[in-house]
Amino acid sequence: MSIARPLHGRLLGRCLASTQPRAAAAAATAPCQQQFHSSATRSKRRSRFRNVTAAKMGLLDPSVLSDYRKAHFPEYTSEELAVLKGKYTAEQFEALEAGEKAISTDDMIMQGRLRDDPYRPNYIEDYTVLDPRYDVKPKVDVTPQEPEWLDRDAWADKYGSKMTELTDKKTTQQLTRAMVRALRRVKESNGADLIDLTEAELDDMEKDPDLLQKYLVQGDSSAEAEAEAETDAADGDMLTRAQAMKLDEAIDSQWQQELEKLSLVEDPVEVEPSNLELLADGPAGERRVYSAEAAELGKVPGVEGLYKSAADPEDDGQDDGGNYQEIKRLTGMTLKDIQSIYRKVLVTRWVSNQTRLGKVRSTSVLAIAGNGNGRLGLGVAKSSEPALAAETAQLLAIRNMKPIRRYEQRTIYGNSRGKVSGTVVELFARPPGFGLRCPHRIFEMCRACGIHDIHARMPRSKNPMNSVKAAFAALTNQLDPEEIAIGRGKKLVDVRKVYYGGAVY
């Protein structure tokens, strides 16, 4: 019968042999190098990034700091101080000065140095300057029209009048352009001194026929017209009868030529309205271009009452299917409050149930819900549809929300422990700024209930479902120091709030 000798005994014996008196000198020069484990030693980990010191960045040079301070954080001039004193009251100006003194420019330069490269982010928002991408709104030239539900005859009449109006406008524009071209030819041939319109004005009228209204003489009274004619004759600007007849004949001849060219036009686009003009009054037309909100459709005749109405008119049409009515009844919250709750699916499992018909597969979901201010809930649901299981679990989590005790609204009271089956979760309170250093599922739970500083440890099983349940048990079963102090007949005082006057954040 052979007995195996333990390995650690032999290794320990070798290391202790070097401590004997006769081998003291050898042990001092050659210490025991034998390790108690068989794995290889790990080399020191090196960072992939170079460490840039403050001296290389020029942050320790007083001249560089002064130049940077003058360039980016200049002092207020006397004119600027006068403007600020005129804009703010004495108390407000005093508060501004106190805020300026409380912020050290050297700390901003050293700890939060502003980048000067082209890819730097916008650290400071200047609200005194308008950004055209966000601040300048488009000029509203048109007003959206309310929709009209017309019967067949009324719609046909309106459409016919609209087409007639568009056709007349198109024809008028073509005739105006023909008249402008005739005037240009007459001016080029023999009417340069008779027509006082410039080439630029003629070009503008040909591009925009509506400008012709600016040059037309409005119908004045006979007395005003005679007075104006006498004034023009006295100034020498009045045309003679022969010049007027010659000008009319030249314009008539050129006008006839232009009309003949218009009659030979084969392209229907020149005369018929375009598709954009036909859609000007439609949902995507010019009248709806600057409308940020669709017009109210109202009740459509003929289909009113045929469809299911909203379950609750106070929901403003956001829950027409009635999915949130039961949770609203159980919790007493409004739909807006329910939708503002943070919800997340943490665990998803695919399970199956063996029946006489075979395996029936379904999805089991565990979700959490929290308002971010001390309330947290768990919900478990199972369904053959994953989306339905996730939605049901989230609604159950909202219904099962419970208060979570928080110290200073950021961490737990002391240390807490929760155990579910073989999973143990240990939570530890941490100081301000420590953060959430815990597994990702516990991280989501802490974020949902409003805990910002905590450390968690799971020394045993890491089962996803049990870890969430154990963390929830640890959060809800915290020891209350107030109750412990009352049970001992003593008074509990928060020393941090006493010494810091409540400013503990």
Tell me, yes or no, whether 188 and 270 share the same domain. yes
More confident residue, 274 or 339: 339
Please indicate, yes or no, whether residues 91 and 193 belong to a single structural domain of this protein: no
**Among all chains, which residue has been given the structure tokens 């309106």?**
158
For residue 51, is it within any domain? no
Residue 380 falls inside a structural domain: yes
**Are 87 and 103 within one domain?**
yes
- What SS3 class is residue 434? coil
- Residue 382: the pLDDT is 96
Name the residue with higher pLDDT: 398 or 315. 398
Which of 403, 429, 456 represents a domain boundary (last residue)? 403
Q: Is residue 148 part of a domain?
A: no
Between residues 312 and 217, which one has the greater pLDDT?
Answer: 312
CB 366 within 8 A of CB 347: yes
Among candidate residues 373, 403, 433, the one where a domain is terminated:
403
Q: Does residue 225 belong to any structural domain of this protein?
A: no
The stretches of 268-334 forming alpha helices (DSSP H) are 275-278, 325-331
Q: Which domain holds residue 75?
A: 64-111
Into how many domains does the chain fold?
4
Q: Is the separation of the CB atoms in 323 and 343 below 8 Å?
A: no
Q: Of 357, 377, 403, at which residue does a domain stop?
A: 403
177 & 259 share domain:
yes
Torsion-angle region of 489 (φ positive above 0: left; ψ -120 to 50: alpha; else: beta): left
CA distance 172 to 163: 14
Residue 436 lies in a domain: yes
Whether 491 and 445 map to the same domain: the answer is yes
Q: What percent of the chain has pLDDT over 90?
A: 29
How many CA atoms does the CB half-sphere of 422 hold within 13 Å? 4
Distance CA 199, CA 467 (A): 85
User: Per this entry, what is the length of the chain?
Assistant: 505
Residue 389: the pLDDT is 96
Tell whether the model's pLDDT for residue 232 goes beyond 60: no
Tell which residue, 282, 254, 107, has the closest CA to residue 179.
254
* Res. 455: pLDDT tops 90: yes
CA distances from 336 to 213, 259, 323, 483 (A): 56, 67, 14, 36
Specify the pLDDT at position 10. 47
Residue 82 lies in a domain: yes
* Stretch 173-182: mean pLDDT: 82
| pLDDT (tens digit per residue) in 343-363 | 999 999 999 999 998 999 999
Q: What is the pLDDT of residue 482?
A: 86
pLDDT at 189: 74
Task: Give yes or no: residues 485 and 410 share one domain.
Answer: yes
Question: Under DSSP, is residue 293 helix (H, G, I), strand (E, B) or coil?
Answer: coil
Determine the pLDDT at residue 262: 72
Band the pLDDT of 50: cuts 50, 70, 90: low
Cα distance between residue 403 and residue 158, in whole Å: 64
User: pLDDT at position 285, please?
Assistant: 52
Reported as type and span, the H/E element at residue 377 is: strand 375-383
So what's the pLDDT on residue 19?
47
**CATH code, 381:** 3.30.160.20
Alpha-carbon dihedral sign for residues 230, 236, 239, 243: positive
Say how far residue 398 (Cα) sits from the centre of its chain: 26
Q: How does the average pLDDT of the chain come out, rounded?
A: 77
Between 19 and 485, the higher pLDDT residue = 485
Regarding whether 385 and 354 lie in a shared domain, the answer is yes
pLDDT of residue 12: 44
Q: Which residue type is seen at 333?
A: M
Q: Residues 381, 411: one domain?
A: no
Same domain, 448 and 411: yes
DSSP-assigned letter for residue 268 = G
Contact 369, 348 (CB under 8 A): no
Is residue 254 assigned to a domain? Answer: yes
334 and 397 in a single domain? The answer is yes
Assign residue 110 a region (left: φ > 0; alpha: ψ between -120 and 50; beta: otherwise): alpha
* CA 28 to the chain's CA centroid: 68
Contacts of 240 (CB under 8 A, 6+ apart): none
Residue 203: strand, helix, or coil: helix
Closest CA to 59 of 47, 49, 67, 50: 67
Q: For 382-409, how does the pLDDT look when each residue is reduced to its tens digit (9 = 90+)?
A: 999 999 999 999 999 999 999 999 998 9
Q: Specify the amino acid at residue 99.
A: G
- Paired residues of 429 in beta bridges: 454
**pLDDT the model gives residue 24:** 47
Per-position DSSP letters for 285-309, written without gaps between them: SGGGTT-SSPPP--PPTTTTTSSPP
> Can you read off the two tokens belonging to residue 460?
């045993």
Q: What is the pLDDT of residue 173?
A: 82
CA angle 431, 437, 441 (to 5 degrees): 130
Is residue 468 situated within a structural domain? yes
User: pTM of the prediction?
Assistant: 0.42
Token pair belonging to 215: 């040059």
CA quadruple 36, 42, 43, 45: dihedral, nearest 10: -130
Residues 397 and 420 in one domain: no
pLDDT of residue 242: 74
Q: Provide the 3-class DSSP secondary structure of residue 114.
A: coil
φ and ψ at residue 430, rounded to 5 degrees: -135, 160
- Distance, CA of 350 to CA of 210 (rounded, Å): 71
Indicate the helix (H) or strand (E) that contains 383.
strand 375-383
**Is 211 found in the same domain as 161?**
yes
Q: How far is CA 329 from CA 14, 312, 333, 377, in A?
A: 75, 12, 8, 17
Instruction: Please determine, for residue 9, whether its predicted confidence score (pLDDT) is greater than 50.
Output: no
